[in-house]
Amino acid sequence: MHIFWFCPQKGIACVAMKWFSSVVVIAITTLVTARPEKLNKDHPAAFKEALLAHSRAKRDLFVYGNWCGVGITGVGTACTCEDTVADCEAALAPKDSLDAACLEHDLCLCNKPPGDLPELIALCQCNMEIYNDASANNVCTEYSWWWNFFARSSCESYRAGLKSAFLFAPCYCQTSSSVVLGFPQCQSP
């Protein structure tokens, strides 16, 4: 799914309009269907309850699966920054390949930009990685068209919105030591 719009002006206003439109697409198209979470049976009951509370809290228009969501991460709840991707997957399994990409992005967010920047400003490298992961051909292919049409539609819709949002999201560029509007603006030397 691609979003087409005409932007009569160039510059920051046009980019802001595209970014806002992407967020609206995520809100409208990702009515998440509830499903039982797959929890590791080795965790104590209290930890399982905390994970379930985290999963229930994420049922929102801006959320997909267990790891995707605006300003919401499982890091700190299901796992910590010291854990590996495998540790986090064992604690709270991703719903599908798109959710797994969000898990990797959440762990990448443990690398904070220097200075006193707002919490939602991530490293451009993290945003570029989730954009590339979401652009891969194998994302959302767990759902066949005839068997899980609505699950695949939900995944594809969130994928399109996620790609648009991260393409234009402000991020910290390490090569220029500044905040830029979208990772494409951060050029490698």
Q: What pLDDT shows up at residue 114?
A: 86
Q: What pLDDT shows up at residue 71?
A: 63
Q: Which two tokens stand for residue 176?
A: 């220029």
Share of the chain above pLDDT 70, in %: 64
pTM: 0.68
Report if residue 77 sits inside a domain.
yes
Q: What pLDDT shows up at residue 164?
A: 92
Query: Could you give the number of structural domains in the chain?
Result: 1
Report if residue 116 sits inside a domain.
yes
Q: Which two tokens stand for residue 86?
A: 């495998």
Report if residue 55 sits inside a domain.
yes
Give me the residues of the chain with pLDDT under 50, please.
Answer: 1-5, 23-41, 43, 46-48, 50-59
User: Residue holding tokens 């066949």?
Assistant: 144
User: For residue range 39-86, what is the model confidence (pLDDT) as tens digits?
Assistant: 444 545 544 454 444 444 444 557 888 889 876 667 777 788 889 999
Report if residue 155 sits inside a domain.
yes
**CA distances (Å), 122 to each of 11, 31, 119, 178, in order?**
22, 26, 8, 12
Bridge-based pairing of strands 63-64 and 68-69 is: antiparallel
Report if residue 60 sits inside a domain.
yes
Query: What domain range includes position 163?
Result: 12-185
Report if residue 5 sits inside a domain.
no
